[in-house]
Amino acid sequence: MRFFIWLRERWDALDHSHNFTCDVCGREVFGGERICAACKKRLPYIRKFCPVCGRRVREEGVCAACKQRRPVPDAVRSCFLHEGDAARLVRTFKRGERWLAITFAEELAPILRAFPAADALIPVPMTARALKKRGFDQTLRLAKELSRLTGVPVVQAAVKQRETAAQKSLTRHEREKNLAGCFHIRLRKEVRGRAVVIIDDTYTTGATVDELASALRRAGAAAVYALTVTSVEDKFPFGKKDG
Ligand SMILES: [Zn+2]
Ligand SMILES: [Zn+2]
């Protein structure tokens, strides 16, 4: 089974190593770039961000939400706002367009390199049942591509030991309750005293990343960061709307 997964990944990489069309708009590209210049300009890259949670801010400095309550990781960074073409790409990826992991990894690699040196990439895990349903593990796939570009190893230290309810309709408090204790950390030797980076597709309320970061801290991680493809802008920084 492992061999077939490996083969599939190498095939995808080979198949998509020479890009002839833009991954976003589908128009022809000539330099082999994955995203054409016009789309690069249009995509919602996060350029000005809170140094703690990495969410887009309008004014330099720590955002109002982090001043009230800091996320568990030492720092979180995301490449795009979760809207428009960026949100669509993430959805397409999760629906099974696995090769998009290569595109995302290319965008995330410079951000990862800007973190203090990391020892391991830890993908947010899914349960065996969820994996069977989706057919592939999207965060693992993303972490692997990122590892190929940066040389930081993937350590599958986290295991999701029970299914959690869909988070979408839950408030922040309900999300925390829903997630409490759902991650188990194995391979503790590779976590203890190390600087680790959690990899996920989207940073929404941050409840999942917080829960995993807490588990990694308890397992002795020296520093915990998180890196995601997209992040939702905090529209309710004063906690008016819980979620
Ligand atoms: Zn394009
Ligand atoms: Zn913040």
d(CA 122, CA 194): 12
- Structure letter (DSSP) for residue 49: B
Q: Print the SS3 string covering 143-170.
A: HHHHHHHHCCCECCCEEECCCCCCCCCC
Q: What is the pLDDT of residue 240?
A: 44
Kindly give the distance from the C-alpha atom of residue 19 to the centroid of ligand 1, in angstroms, as a whole number: 12
Tens of pLDDT, residues 136-186? 999 999 999 999 999 999 999 999 988 888 777 788 788 888 899 899 999
How far is the centre of ligand 1, averaged over its atoms, from the C-alpha of 27 (Å)?
6
What does pLDDT average to over the chain? 90
Which 8-state DSSP code applies to residue 189?
G
Residues whose CB is less than 8 angstroms from the CB of residue 125 and which lie 6 or more positions away in sequence, other chains included:
137, 139, 140, 156, 158, 159, 160, 183
Dist. CA 29–CA 13, nearest whole Å: 18
pLDDT for the residue numbered 154 = 98
CA of 102 to the centre of ligand 1 (A): 16
Structure confidence by residue, pLDDT tens digits, 18-36: 668 899 999 988 887 889 9
Q: What is the pTM of this model?
A: 0.89
Q: How far apart are CA 229 and CA 106, in angstroms?
A: 11
For the CA of 85, the nearest ligand: 1
CA–CA distance, 103 with 108 (Å, rounded to integer): 9
Taking only the tens place, the pLDDT of each residue in 95-118 is 999 989 999 999 999 999 998 899
Closest CA to 81 of 124, 119, 48, 109: 48
Ligand in closest contact with the CA of 103: 1
Tens of pLDDT along 34-53? 899 999 999 999 999 999 99
pLDDT at 76: 97
Please indicate whether residue 165 or residue 119 has the higher confidence score (pLDDT). Answer: 119
In this prediction, residue 33 carries a pLDDT of: 85
Question: Minimum-distance ligand to the CA of 21?
Answer: 1
**Domains, the chain, ordered by start:** 1-42 (no CATH), 44-231 (3.40.50.2020)
Report the candidate in 138, 130, 137, 74 with the shortest Cα–Cα distance to residue 105.
138
Instruction: Give the chain's largest Cα–Cα span.
Output: 50
Residues 6+ apart with CB under 8 A from 49: 55, 56, 57, 77, 78
- Compute, in angstroms, the gap from residue 113 CA to the centroid of ligand 1: 25
**Cα–Cα distance between 47 and 26 in angstroms, integer?**
25
Give the span between the Cα atoms of 93 and 202, in whole angstroms. 12
Residue 133 Rama label (left phi>0; alpha psi -120 to 50; beta): alpha
What is the band of 78 on the pLDDT scale with cuts at 50, 70, 90?
Answer: very high
**Could you say which ligand is closest to the alpha carbon of residue 36?**
1
Cα 24 to ligand 1 centre (Å): 5
pLDDT given at position 8: 77
In 3-state terms, the chain is what percent helix, strand and coil (to 5)?
A: 40, 15, 45
